Amino acid sequence: MFELPSGAEIQSIIASLQASVGFFIPEIYLSLLFMLLIVIDLVAKGRKNNLLAITTLVGLAGSFFFIYQQHALPAGEFFFGMYVLDEFALFFKYFFVLSGMLAVVITMADEQFDSEVKSIGEYYALIVAMVIGMIMMACSSDLLMIFLSMELVSFTAYILTGYFKRNARSSEAALKYLVYGAVSSGLMVYGFSLIYGLTAQTNLIKISAELATHGYDPLVMIFSTLLVLAGFGYKIGAVPFHFWSPDVYEGAPTPITAYLSVASKAAGFALLMRFYYIAVPHDGHAYEDILGIDWLSLLILLSVASMIYGNVVALWQKNVKRLLAYSSIAHAGYLLLGIIVMDELGTQATLFYLLSYFLMNFGAFYVVILIANKTGSENLDDYRGLGKSMPLAGAALTVFLISLVGLPPTLGFIGKLMIFSALLAKGSLYMWLALIGIMTSVISLYYYMLIPLNMYLRESRHHEEKQLSPGMPAQIFMAVLMILTIYFGLFFAPLSDFAKYSSAMFGLTLH
Amino acid sequence: MLSLIVFLPIIAGLVILAVPSSQKQIIRIVSLLAALAQGVLAVLIWRGYNPSLPGITGSFQYVEKVPWISLQLGGFGSLNIEYFLGVDGISITMVILTALISAIGVLSSWTIQKQVKGYFILYNLLASAMMGCFVALDFFLFYVFWEVMLLPMYFLIGIWGGPNREYAAIKFFLYTLFGSVFMLLVMIGLYFSVLDPATGNHTFSLVAMATQTNYIKGAILGPDNVFWRYVAFIVLFIGFAIKVPMFPFHTWLPDAHVEAPTPISVILAGVLLKLGTYGMIRINFPLFPEVFHASMYVIGIFGAINIIYGAFCALAQKDLKKMVAYSSISHMGYVLLGLAAGNSEGMVGALYQMFNHGTITAMLFLLVGVIYDRAHTRQIEKFGGLASYMPVYAALVTVAWFASLGLPGLSGFISEALVFVGAFSSETTRPIAMVSVLGIVFGAAYLLWSLQRMFLGQRRSDAAYDLVVGDDGHEHIHFHDWKGKLDLDGRELAMLVPLVVITIFLGIYPMPVLGMLTTSINKLVEVLSPVVMSHL
């Protein structure tokens, strides 16, 4: 039985909470923004304008101010070790806010919303809620907090996926997402409970200390890490936890697809890195008695399977969104490579790759939306002749796809370069992983190039040569994304230095 | 200077971007001006070049070296990439060749009618990237240029190519990317293994990498890591061999050539293939000299296979362009054979052969393009007796064909002779050279045979043209829907005559090219001379 805390204890708890609030300002600000959006939606109901979108954009942009101020705060835990603030977390705060903003921008461009939904309603509020949830994922340092933040993200994501209520595919996607999500959360919580059983702790750093001092049963440990991996693997969309992603990516509103494929995946990676780096460190010989398998081997397995499966299955896709879904599975595999090396360079490479993936994937989906606005289709066959009728969109999409393949002079190339550098810095140990990585990226060239192939090499089936213009703001935005992809591919030092700065994780000592 | 020659076409491309796509003539002229300016720069560079400086491991000329990217790399230290350009005897010949072929390519592109704007933008991007490859001395920079070539080439074949262009374009892209991704891994491995003696940092500089004492013992490609050094050499070699293309990686080339429009075939055969052997000379061999020594025999054998197999394939072709494509494979075999000899004669011959192959094969493809434009077919059997109706064309074809088969007095003879002198004087390659000589016989066979079938004799009953009796009472031939001049017109002469002149001049007096080469080649041979790695 728990005893009620004494008055003095309550005083100290309150004092601690008050001290912690200072570290939580961006999250509070975003929560207020969330409520404000709901209120605006209630007040301004029925009005067909971009008021909500603009408010969301401005509001999200405002949060940069509060996040920026957190650089001055010392890294550390607060809220009784539930929550952590470090450079690593700050990186993801910027990342998620920025991806939320991009999601809003591309939603504004998507004309499908005009036909599918009468009122945009709570859509933008949910995007903000998801930003909050993902930020909390990146900052959680406690099993309970991890679970709560993941569920917050998942539930908002389910709703957003099924946002086109009258669209059967959208609803189907939401249901599939929900079912898979529920199962993998369940598995993950089971894994957490085993870890709690082993260590009697929920804080990641304390778990690590407990494991180091008291030892553990390796069989239980490997079993629990496997279960936890089911939860994280589902979020990052890695094989074999990927089954939801093609259907969800295809069925969901395209801005949500882009948002999920970049931000939600990144949140999964943030969590995965923090959990495995801090709670269950890999010391090379810890679990060797169990078939030599530990979580690192599991991650290697996941990574290899994702790279091969994602890239190979994408070869047969006829729908561009589905193709990009499989490509995102493959990219999860490349990102895992950076985690596997388990050193500062690996973390830097992973974070850098996330940045590059952010730019090129959002860019690709943005163009896909603009094209769908004009042609009403996401089928590869309907991309024929688009290089002529939408020249800028065609060029931009080609640049993003080249970047996704990993060819210079684009950002995606540098991402791959960093990942492979991290692998090769370990000598010949991970050479075979690097080989699989580059071989599969050659495969990926084929399916990515199917899109430019249809756009440029094949004639449109409609013979009239009319120009389809997506409108000036969209053209400019698209051009900016394209130029950034190339610019950062040639001058990537700022991004890389930022990634290095951000690789510092509280409570972590990597060798 | 070098920056200018590299980026002039890209600047032209940006200018073209601003020109409305209906102004086809302006677009062409802008491209031509850029190509001519490139040519002028190439001549200036050539005039100012001091052939007594060796290059390879230092003393490059027209050096431009500025820090490009410097960043902290995890716990590893800093990553430094330099914008590092320079030429030595090996690259300067290629720079001149590239400028020449680019300009001729623009002239040859004059007949392109479809999407002219897009065509020339891609063409200029390709021209810049090619030039960049030849002058880059930083591996990272080289790799960027190398990969940037792929995409324009893909589109140039894929959009402006023949009926089977989709297949040919993606085959080209996949093949070359397959080769170059391994290069990426080797590049990263080298970076971790080499220190720049000047700064003490890790470096991508090819100059620093060419000196074996700069390698770190125990690093992945350090001098004591024999296994990985062999692996790295082999994958790099395959990467470059795909570009050459060397048997058995050659199958993309005939497809690409047959589908590509004439100017792109010219660029492909004239410059792009040289990048494969140039990469071997600049990167593959000097960085791994001990592995090169161990594999000279194998390289020689592959060279011989290229020569003979390419010639046999050429002999069997019914399509003239495909025949020229295979002859191109066959002639690149001489380059490989010369390199495998490993001595000055062989290497000089190889490099001279690269230059000559560039000019001669460009000429061959241009001539094939001329007849294809008129007849819309390239089937050898569809022609016959052309010599009496198109005398100027027949004369130029004869010069080009004879240059290709190595007739004395034309440039191809000197380079092939040097290659054989080198190959015979090396113990390793002597038996291979004996077999390879047969290649010359087969080469003569397919070239003379095609010449005979197309130009001599009478018009065949199923020929691609009709015989008409003109107003003057003489017989003329008439191509269906060809409005232009029957024999070569001014533009075609402007493309071909410079090449013919160069071929004849360099066949009589090769010193302008050889003089630039020799110091660098001697230095290269010295760098490649057997070193005992364990002593480093």
pLDDT cut 70: percent of chain B above it: 98
Q: Which of A373, A293, A500 is nearest to A116 (CA)?
A: A373
For A508, the token pair is 């972590």
pLDDT confidence of residue A415: 92
Cβ atoms B332, B272 nearer than 8 A = no
Stretch B483-498: mean pLDDT, rounded? 84
Place of tokens 């002198």: B421
pLDDT at B67: 87
Whether residue A456 and residue B72 make contact (CB cut-off 8 A), yes or no, is no
| Domain contains A85 | yes
Q: For residue B241, give both structure tokens.
A: 């061999």
* Cα–Cα dist B454/B446, whole Å: 12
Q: Which of B164, B181, B225 to mutate to test the interface with A (most CBs of A within 10 A)?
A: B181
Q: What's chain B's average pLDDT?
A: 87
Specify if A371 maps to a domain: no
Q: What percent of chain B has pLDDT over 90?
A: 35
Integer Cα distance of A193 and A197 in angstroms: 6
The amino acid present at B466, given as its one-letter code, is: D
Q: What is the pLDDT of residue A463?
A: 59
| pLDDT given for residue B42 in this prediction | 92
Q: Residue A91: its pLDDT value, please?
A: 93
Structure token pair of residue B276: 């494969």
Contact B513, B100 (CB under 8 A): no
Integer Rg of chain B from CA: 23
A217 touches chain B (CB under 8 A): no
Q: Chain B residue closest to A491 (CA)?
A: B69
From the CB of residue B490, how many other CB atoms can be counted at a distance below 10 Å?
8
Q: What share of chain B is helix, strand, coil (3-state, %, to 5)?
A: 70, 10, 20
* pLDDT of res. B421: 92
- The whole-number average pLDDT for the span A451-467 is 78
Q: Is residue A417 part of a domain?
A: no
Q: Which helix (H) or strand (E) holds B67?
A: strand B61-73
- What are the b/e assignments for B375-396, b being 16+ CB within 10 Å? bebbebebbbbbbbbbeebbeb
The predicted structure's pLDDT at residue A352: 94
| Burial status of residue A413 (CB atoms within 10 A of its CB: 0-12, 13-18, 19 or more) | buried
**Which region among A210-219, A458-467, B13-22, B90-99 has the lowest average model confidence (pLDDT)?**
A458-467
CB contact (8 A) between residue B173 and residue A445: yes
ipTM of predicted complex = 0.90
Phi/psi at B66 (5° precision): -130, 145
pLDDT, residue A18, reads 86
Give the list of residues 6+ apart from residue A267 with CB closer than 8 angstroms, or none.
Answer: A92, A96, A133, A134, A137, A138, A153, A235
Q: Which of residues 132-151 of B touch A (CB under 8 A)?
A: 143-144, 147-148, 150-151
The per-residue pLDDT for range A12-30, each reduced to its tens digit, is: 888 888 888 888 899 999 9
State the pLDDT confidence band at A205, using cuts at 50, 70 and 90. Answer: confident
> Comparing C-alpha atoms, which of A369, A356, A455, A370 is closest to residue A405?
A356
- A422 Cα to chain B: minimum distance (Å): 9
What's the whole-number mean pLDDT along residues A140-144?
Answer: 91
* Sign (positive or negative) of CA dihedral B126, B127, B132, B134: positive
Rounded mean pLDDT of B129-152? 92
- The pLDDT of A48-53, averaged and rounded, is 76
Q: What is the pLDDT of residues A233-261, one digit of tens each?
A: 999 988 888 889 999 999 999 999 999 99
End-to-end CA separation in angstroms for chain B: 37
Burial of B166 (0-12, 13-18, 19+ CB in 10 A): middle
The one-letter code for the residue type at A289 is D
Sequence letter at residue B382 = K
Q: What is the pLDDT of residue A49?
A: 64
pLDDT digits (tens, 9 = 90+) for B246-294: 888 889 999 999 899 999 999 999 999 999 999 999 999 989 988 888 8
**Position A271 in a domain:** yes
Q: How far is CA A119 from CA A50, A108, B295, B508, in A?
A: 11, 13, 71, 82
Q: Which two tokens stand for residue B371?
A: 């007849």
Residue A425 lies in a domain: no
User: Which DSSP helix (H) or strand (E) runs through A172?
Assistant: helix A168-199
pLDDT value for A332: 93
* 3-state SS, one letter per residue, for B452-514: HHHHCCCCCCCCCEEEEECCCCCEEEEECCCCCCCCCCHHHHHHHHHHHHHHHHHHHCCHHHH
Q: What is the pLDDT of residue A145?
A: 93
Backbone dihedral angles phi then psi of residue B283, each to the nearest 5 degrees: -115, -60
Longest dimension (CA), chain A: 82
- Using a CB-CB cut-off of 8 Å, the residues of chain B touching A500 are 71-74
Contact B74 A500 (CB under 8 A): yes
Question: Which letter does DSSP use for residue A72 in this model?
Answer: G
CA distance to partner chain A, nearest, from residue B193 (Å): 10
Task: Look at residues B146, B331, B168 and name the one whose alpha carbon lies nearest to residue B260.
Answer: B168
Structural tokens at position A474: 């969209």
CA A122 to chain centre: 22
Instruction: Search chain A and give the residue with CA nearest B191.
Output: A421
Q: What is the mean pLDDT of residues B446-464?
A: 81
Q: Rounded mean pLDDT of A132-136?
A: 94
Look at B148 and A453 and tell me if their CB atoms are within 8 Å: no
The pLDDT of residue A113 is above 70:
yes
Of B42, B63, B79, B434, residue with least CA distance to B271: B42
The tokens describing B75, both together, are 């716990």
When pLDDT is cut at 50, 70 and 90, the band that residue A511 belongs to is very low
Cα B374 to Cα B364, B366, B368, B383: the distances in Å are 16, 13, 10, 12
Number of domains in chain A: 1
Q: How confident is the model at residue B128 (pLDDT cuts 50, 70, 90)?
A: very high
Q: Which domain holds residue A188?
A: 22-293
Residue A419 included in any domain = no
Angle between helices A391-405 and A431-452 (to 10 degrees): 170
Residues 6 or more apart from A129 whose CB is under 8 A from it?
Answer: A34, A152, A156
Over residues A113-123, mean pLDDT = 79
Mean pLDDT of all residues in A360-388:
88
Rounded to 10°, the helix A218-236/A168-199 angle is: 160
| DSSP-assigned beta bridge partners for residue A83 | A78, A140
**Nearest C-alpha neighbor of B185 from the set A106, A434, A298:** A434
* pLDDT (0 to 100) of residue A464: 59
**pLDDT tens per residue, range A315-342:** 999 999 999 999 999 999 999 999 988 8
The mean pLDDT value for B440-452 works out to 88
Nearest to B382 by CA among B394, B371, B390, B393: B371
Distance between A448 CA and the closest CA of chain B, angstroms:
11
Distance CA B325, CA B415 (A): 20
Is the pLDDT higher at B196 or at A154?
Answer: A154
Considering only CB atoms, A493 lies closest to which of B69, B144, B169, namely B69
